[in-house]
Structure 1
Amino acid sequence: MYNRRKFIKVSAATASITAFSRSAFARTINSIEPSGFPIVISTWNFGVDANKEAWKTLEKGGRALDAVEAGVRIPEADMNNHTVGRAGYPDRDGHVTLDACIMDEFGNCGSVAAMEDIAHPISVARLVMEKTPHIMLVGDGATQFAVEQGFKREKLLTPESEKAWKEWLKTAKYAPVLNIEDKQHAPGNQYNHDTIGMLALDAKGNISGACTTSGMAFKLHGRVGDSPIIGAGLFVDNEVGGATSTGVGEEVIRNVGSFLVVELMRQGYHPEDACREAVNRIIKKKPDTAKQIQVGFLAINKKGEHGAYAIQPGFEYAVCNSQTQDLLIKGKSFY
């Protein structure tokens, strides 16, 4: 007979097993030996210079969050980069609108979207995280908040970007071109969008990430892609790893791509395999669309293992650790 005394004994044993399992899990997570702490990785060839800046923080034992913010500010300020930051191409109405998000090892996150007149959206996103009860501010509200926090309001439409926009207006045709950052695949092409996503694992084994972009060139005014969306353009779980994305954001959002990659790593997938599975999900759902676009994912786990996968060839990512400062790796692709 299953009496009360037996029930209490079984319950106590179950509780002990559960407590042991949780403790063992915690020890397993906390005792993972790194293959290369600290390390920082980021999307595309402009990630090389961004990583070098992030490394200045990491090599001193600094926090991953500080590293990723400092790192992505480099392409945000690059006047020759028309896909990220202040020199980005405008929307079809001539407005330069910027998107960014940031996430730390505690699961805190901040984001801005469709923000105008502020050159460093990643730093505004961090302040949204640290100084407000919110996660995302958009449009005029994001700009207002930035100004209140001491950011300088300035015109972001550069003469070069304005010239390109007026040239585009002659036909007003929008057709994304793959891999503008890979000059071999798109030599001289100036109309596209590519994001910088950065993930860092610091000396303490903590992960943070950042993602920032000026979005699709000549997009509809008010369009927001995946880059400022936590779970789409960026996701970090400090027990597992982090992931970020680049390419056509609409497809990343539909699949909650970066969250998916992290959850696959939680199940034991290597970062590259997790990225590949996320890409396969996009292709399976919309095979005809996938043939015409680029989407790529980049990921890192708690061991410092990293990997990437994309729909189309040409996606590359930069790696920086104590052994190398400027390594550029070609991500694998479906096609």
Structure 2
Amino acid sequence: MKQINFIQKKATIVVGLLALVLLIACKLEEKSPEKKETVKTSTSAVRPLVIATWNTPLAVETAAKVLEKGGSALDAVEAGCRIEEANEKGQSVGKGGLPDRDGNVTLDACIMDDKGNYGAVLCVKNIKHVISVARKVMEETPHVMLAGEGAEQFAISQGFERENLLTEPSKKAWEKWKEKSEYKPIINIENHDTIGMLAIDKEGNISGACTTSGLAYKMAGRVGDSPIIGGGLFVDNEVGAAVATGLGEEVLKTVGSFLIVELMRQGKSPQEACEEAIARIVNKPNSDFKNFQVGYIAVNKQGETGAYSIHEWFSYNLYKNGENKNIKSDFILNRKE
């Protein structure tokens, strides 16, 4: 009898200990950080959608037409960027872009799809549609980035034609600049310096693209943020995407586009994320932000958008619910004394 009582007591202790272990485990789980859920597509998600830096209505309209016909977001952003690359009057993208200090027009571009694939070209001469070359790098090579002569040779092998990118107006502007040869970033007011474009197609997939001729009269070989993943562009199809414009050196120092997407992953809206990314630049010790411009645009999986810049004058085009509008961005100096 005593042995039976002993066994019963021992069993009771074991059960009690198991219950205590389970209770402690539950408490620890309650205290542990919750997993951050990505923004999920809902039935109210806006699609299709296109957003692009600066006043680029034709480029956005072109991309929107691709989407409305059932095309992919990747096809849309490529088609939209090609419009600006062929716009010789822009003097900052593609043919007619302002040259480096030696008189050479060199182009940078990158593209990123909904699967996380990425392609880029840097310092490319004589090829107008570098956004398409960047896509070829992504789809036809084992690499993600080609530069200089190698990128040009690859473009030719893919059927692209060489042409002189320095137009007469851009040549005259360069010759006038050489009279003093003063180099400093100029805060962009009327003209855009890069086209960055993001799109969501009817399937809810996100892609992005960015193309530029870079800073006018830059040092030969200079590359900014535009073709660099996480700097000028970043896409995460589970969360959203962001693209940058402005002084690339400052965007790269904070990996701005990647930062914005990660902030959205943590629950911030696209607008809140853009504002935080600009604040990171402005609030750096000894930041010379009053003398340069940076602007961001972003979109999340639900089709919510955001835009923010350091200075006034930054705008973006948005195609949403069948309307294509140019919208003036809010800016951080509007909130500072």
State whether TM-score is above 0.5.
Answer: yes
Find the residue that maps to 1:65 and give its secondary structure: helix
Conserved? CA contact 1:44–1:181, under 8 Å: no
How many Å separate the matches in 2 of 1:34 and 1:101?
Answer: 30
The aligned residue for residue 273 of structure 1 is: 272
- Aligned residue identity for 1:301: N
- Aligned residue identity for 1:86: K
How many Å separate the matches in 1 of 2:189 and 2:330?
Answer: 17
Q: What CA deviation, in whole Å up to 9, does each residue of 1:254-278 have, x standing for no partner?
A: 0000000000000111111100000
How many Å separate the matches in 2 of 1:314 and 1:125?
Answer: 29
The aligned residue for residue 40 of structure 1 is: 50
- Aligned residue identity for 1:87: G
The aligned residue for residue 204 of structure 2 is: 205
Q: What CA deviation, in whole Å up to 9, does each residue of 1:271-316 have, x standing for no partner?
A: 1110000000001115541111000110000010001010111110
Runs of 5+ unmatched residues, structure 2: 1-12
Conserved? CA contact 1:209–1:236, under 8 Å: yes
Conserved? CA contact 1:34–1:302, under 8 Å: no
The aligned residue for residue 59 of structure 1 is: 68
The aligned runs of 1:1-335 (5 Å cut-off) are 30-45=40-55, 47-181=56-190, 194-325=193-324, 327-335=325-333
Conserved? CA contact 1:180–1:194, under 8 Å: no
Conserved? CA contact 1:75–1:85, under 8 Å: yes
Conserved? CA contact 1:181–1:194, under 8 Å: no
How many Å separate the matches in 1 of 2:307 and 2:152?
Answer: 34
- Aligned residue identity for 1:153: R
**Closer, same or farther: CA 226–31 of 1 in aligned 2, 3 Å:** closer
- State percent identity of aligned pairs: 56
- Aligned residue identity for 1:254: K
Give, in angstroms, the shift of residue 124 of structure 1: 0.2
Conserved? CA contact 2:52–2:197, under 8 Å: yes
Give, in angstroms, the shift of residue 118 of structure 1: 0.2
The aligned residue for residue 186 of structure 1 is: none
**Closer, same or farther: CA 2–274 of 1 in aligned 2, 3 Å:** farther
- Aligned residue identity for 1:331: S
**Closer, same or farther: CA 166–264 of 1 in aligned 2, 3 Å:** same
How many residues in Structure 1 have an aligned counterpart in Structure 2?
Answer: 311
RMSD: 2.4
How many Å separate the matches in 2 of 1:29 and 1:213?
Answer: 30
Find the residue that maps to 2:291 and give its secondary structure: coil
Find the residue that maps to 1:231 and give its secondary structure: coil
TM-score, normalisation: structure 2: 0.87
Computing the radius of gyration over CA atoms, which structure comes out larger, 1 or 2?
2
Q: What CA deviation, in whole Å up to 9, does each residue of 1:56-95 have, x standing for no partner?
A: 1100121000000000100100010101111101000011
Conserved? CA contact 2:40–2:301, under 8 Å: no
Deviating beyond 4 angstroms after TM superposition, the runs of 4 or more aligned structure 1 residues are: 28-31
Conserved? CA contact 2:112–2:235, under 8 Å: yes
Conserved? CA contact 1:79–1:87, under 8 Å: yes
**Closer, same or farther: CA 143–34 of 1 in aligned 2, 3 Å:** farther
The aligned residue for residue 6 of structure 2 is: none
The aligned residue for residue 188 of structure 1 is: none
Conserved? CA contact 1:83–1:89, under 8 Å: yes
- Aligned residue identity for 2:91: H
- Aligned residue identity for 1:281: R
TM-score, normalisation: structure 1: 0.88
Conserved? CA contact 2:108–2:213, under 8 Å: yes
How many Å separate the matches in 1 of 2:310 and 2:40?
Answer: 34
Conserved? CA contact 2:46–2:320, under 8 Å: yes
Conserved? CA contact 2:40–2:302, under 8 Å: no
The aligned residue for residue 9 of structure 2 is: none
More off after superposition, 155-164 vs 33-42? 33-42
Conserved? CA contact 1:68–1:208, under 8 Å: yes
Q: What CA deviation, in whole Å up to 9, does each residue of 1:134-181 have, x standing for no partner?
A: 111001110010001010011111111111111110000113222243
- Aligned residue identity for 2:101: R
Conserved? CA contact 1:34–1:304, under 8 Å: no
Find the residue that maps to 1:75 and give its secondary structure: helix
How many Å separate the matches in 1 of 2:285 and 2:202?
Answer: 41
Conserved? CA contact 2:73–2:200, under 8 Å: yes
Q: What CA deviation, in whole Å up to 9, does each residue of 1:87-145 have, x standing for no partner?
A: 10100001100000000000000000101000001000000000011111001110010
How many Å separate the matches in 2 of 1:31 and 1:328?
Answer: 26
